[in-house]
Chain A
Amino acid sequence: MFIDVHVHPAFYEPINDDPMRENMRHEVLDIHLNGIAKLEHVRNQMRLAGLDKLCLLPQDYLTEEGEVPVTNEEIKKLVDLMPDQFIGFASVDPHDPEAAEKLDRAFGSLGLSGLNLHPGRQRFYPMEECVQPLYDICETYNKPVMFHAGMSWEPHTLAKYGRPIEFEELAETRPGLRFCLGHFAWPWLEEAAMLMVKHKNVYADTAALYFDCAREFYSRLFTRELEVTWIDRSLRHQVMFGSDNPRFEQIRMAHALEGLGLRDSTVELIKGKNALEFLNGLE
């Protein structure tokens, strides 16, 4: 089982029949010239990457941007089209007074599998009051949280909201809440590792490709910034494969996992077994 836990389906064809919304997505996400992806293309891409499933992450930037680039309902629509391949997450804006109600509906009615939040874009720190009710709901439904952590290429984002140290109190006070530091909180990998080695409810994904090619950047992140032994010995149950596609290159990143010097059993954990634990299995 190979799962990409970090995919943004903003440009998938079934949710892009409105050119105005497509244009809004290009601007709000700052992704351009990438075209619209037919589901057949998505299947081809998954096959070449060796992927079995994708976690689809919506984005709700209602307060800051006045836009919801990808809604929970659009995620549900995509999951219904490829239920064996797609795992749908929810997103709400913590500053939205209706956020808790929307999240409860996303889990209870839409059957979505986790919550996606972007502190740097939605402008909140992980321990702020406004987001606590959302964690309560996640714990009630036993659903994980995917955080965009570290640097973000999206416009109007501030990395300070996503430094790993900002998540320490969350890990400490809610040990039953599984959450992931997306993008391994680049450039703060060591700080992320500090949290992960102590708190087993903290995961990280590999969705980072800000310099060089996938093979080169992964080699730097996972064999030099972090010693390969750190992941292979101590963090092997908390690292998940993520690509941040379409921002980054899913196929080449998937292939780059091989050849890092990790044990085969560790690679298997990163490819899918850890994601299954994070997701509390597949429904």
Chain B
Amino acid sequence: MVYEEKFTLLTSEYNQYIVVTKMVERAVRDSGVQNGMVTVISKHTTAGVTTNESLECLESDIDVFLKRLVPEDYPYSHARMLADYGSTAGNPTGHLKAMLVGNHAHFMIRDGEIERGGAQEVYFCEFDGPSERTFIVQVMGE
């Protein structure tokens, strides 16, 4: 069977790392799937989904690391009026950071529980906030 849930977040910061593990676990429980897999996917190109340890120090290191790789002050090409939007594109750093983090996290499900390491949390990563964001949790199995 395939079970799917959508979650919406109102992010409040320009770059923000939000632990969504409990939301994913709840979706897995609601699905009733005992053995299978779950995928958590961002619907956006300037926000990502990843897994890491939920520690303040690590969140800071990840943030600083990404800012070092993708500085704000750089002559990006994606800084211009976009006719399809009728507005200015000013978020190249969001696109590049989201690409580095990736758009999804994937886990196995055994006996109705997500099989994840003790330190593994699921993060929704905002790179062009504040914004309203959506991620999808899809559970497949039996």
Binding site for B on A (CB under 8 A): 29-35, 38, 40-41, 44-45, 47-48, 153, 209-216, 246-249, 251-252
| A255: min CB distance to chain B, Å | 9
Question: Are B14 and A153 in contact (CB-based, < 8 A)?
Answer: no
**Beta-carbon contact of A252 and B90 below 8 Å:** yes
Give the distance in Å from the alpha carbon of A34 to the alpha carbon of B75 in the complex: 24
Instruction: Say yes or no for B12: interface residue by CB 8 A criterion.
Output: yes
Q: Are B85 and A32 in contact (CB under 8 A)?
A: yes
Give Cα A278 to B141, complex, Å: 64
Pick the contact of A32: B13, B14, B86 (CB < 8 A): B86
Number of B interface residues, CB 8 Å? 21
Between-chain CB contacts (< 8 Å), 20 pairs: A30-B86, A33-B84, A33-B85, A34-B85, A35-B131, A41-B130, A44-B12, A44-B130, A47-B12, A48-B130, A153-B86, A209-B90, A212-B79, A213-B76, A215-B73, A216-B75, A216-B79, A246-B87, A249-B88, A249-B90
Residues in B whose Cβ lies below 8 Å from that of A41: 10, 130-132
Closest to A211 in B: B80
Expressed in whole angstroms, the Cα–Cα distance for A213 and B132 within the complex equals 23
- Contacts A32-B85, A211-B80 aside, 17 further interface pairs with beta carbons under 8 A come to A29-B86, A33-B84, A34-B87, A35-B132, A38-B132, A44-B13, A47-B12, A48-B14, A48-B129, A153-B81, A209-B90, A211-B81, A213-B79, A215-B73, A216-B75, A246-B87, A249-B90
| Main SS at interface, chain A | loop
**B18 nearest CB across to chain A (Å):** 14
- Which residues on the B side are within 8 Å of A246 (C-beta)? 87
Residues in chain A near residue B13, CB distance under 8 A: 44, 48
A166 CB to closest chain B CB (Å) equals 25
Q: Which residue of A lies closest to B11 (CB)?
A: A44
Complex Cα distance, B13 from A58, in Å, reads: 28
Let me know if B86 and A31 touch, CB within 8 A.
Answer: yes
| Complex: A153 Cα to B85 Cα, angstroms | 11
CB within 8 Å of A: which B45-103 residues: 73, 75-76, 79-81, 84-88, 90
Residues of A within 8 A of B76 (CB): 213
Checking A45, A215, A252 against B130 with a beta-carbon cut-off of 8 angstroms, the contacting residue is: A45
Residues of chain A within 8 A (CB-CB) of B85 are: 31-34
5 A-B pairs closest in CB distance: A44-B130, A213-B79, A30-B86, A31-B86, A249-B90
- By a CB distance below 8 angstroms, the chain A residues around B131 are 35, 41
**In the complex, what distance in Å separates the CA atom of A269 from the CA atom of B71?**
30
Chain B 1-22 interface mask (CB, 8 Å, partner A; 1/0): 0000000001111100000000
How long is the Cα–Cα vector from A153 to B11 in the complex, in angstroms? 29
